[in-house]
Structure 1
Amino acid sequence: MKPDFEFERRAHARGYVRVAGVDEVGRGPLAGPVTAAAVVLDPACIPQGLNDSKKLTKKTRARLYNEIMEVADVSIAHASVEEIEELNILRASHLAMIRALEGLRQSADYVLIDGNMVPNGLTVPAETIIKGDARSQSISAASIMAKICRDCVMLSLAQQHPGYGWETNMGYGSKRHMEALQNLGVTPHHRRLFKPVHKMLYQDKNLSD
């Protein structure tokens, strides 16, 4: 299955003009922000090879990132570790989605959202699509943009906090990351309410009591 423009065409047929695809990345990592992208594609100029970012090579993602930036209205937004801890990861990812939509050069009048939930507070008509990043080209484009932008954030954080392997694991709980948590401790960029990090902090507290 490869994504197509059918969901967008249906929305256009109902009178909607600016249809945005929205996706997020970074719900599962132990560190770093959650990142969302909103993309409004030009139906006459859709980059070739769009797909779920996880199914693409790094080289192909980079090529498509540049092509999407040239031909589409793109907005990227984040929700911070502090917001993830305050709201929970689902609500924080929805906050990032709404921020991404608000950052478009021109407002969307219809939204295609990857998943099965419409974010609270979204005032634009919306449609949820399960596995939308593999079904809708607009959501595929958003998944690529969000993935590359969040990876860049994690590469920067990896330089500030070497040893955790964020330049390769992007904050996910890889073996190297878990070993670094044991040996180096918790950074300000770790999600302290996520179980492995919380467990580490709780152990440290018990040891110090």
Structure 2
Amino acid sequence: MSEGLLCRTKLTDDVETICNTVGKPCCPYEQVKIIDEGGRELPPHQDGELVTKGPGIFAGYLKNPEENRKSFTKDGFFRTGDQARIDSSGYLKITGRIKDIIIRGGENISPAQVEELLCSYPGVADAAVIGMPDKELGEKVCAYVKPADGAKIDPEGIKTFMENKGASKLLVPERFEFVGDLPFTQAGKHDKKALREDIKRKIGLIK
């Protein structure tokens, strides 16, 4: 969060830490922890919501108690909305966005994890994963995939590739949409709201 919590790695950190974490808070007075849906702090290496408190975090929304109730924990930590984990050395890794989590039959699935696997498949230039509404399971995994120029991609080939990588069956998309380009927000992130609307139209939920 450029407007709040700032983290960094050091040149003396190992390559794995520098490349795969956002580091530790710059300010020694910043507090961070990972909590579950019930607000309980999670141990290292478990995914949950990143919450933070300290001098760099704003105190709350002016004259908006309802927004403050939703945005802060009872003990005053700001809910970032980021899914993250902290390792045993205190290094922080962002693994997704809480609101992007796909809930399939009661199982939580991280779109970021699926996207990472898809983008490692030869011929995939970019990928965005969303939850597709389903009457029985609540949501199913739907992948929008942009092939590289000239690449021909077989969905079954992707599924086999992911399984061979040791991915859980839950992570394997149940629907693929191959597109020339993916929509982006002004912030430069995949416009998943637009993709959710698109898939709803394609499966007949909206016109």
Q: Which TM bucket (shorter chain)?
A: under 0.3
| Structure of higher RCO (CA pairs closer than 8 Å, 6+ residues apart) | 1
**Which structure has greater strand proportion?**
2
- Bigger Rg over Cα: 2
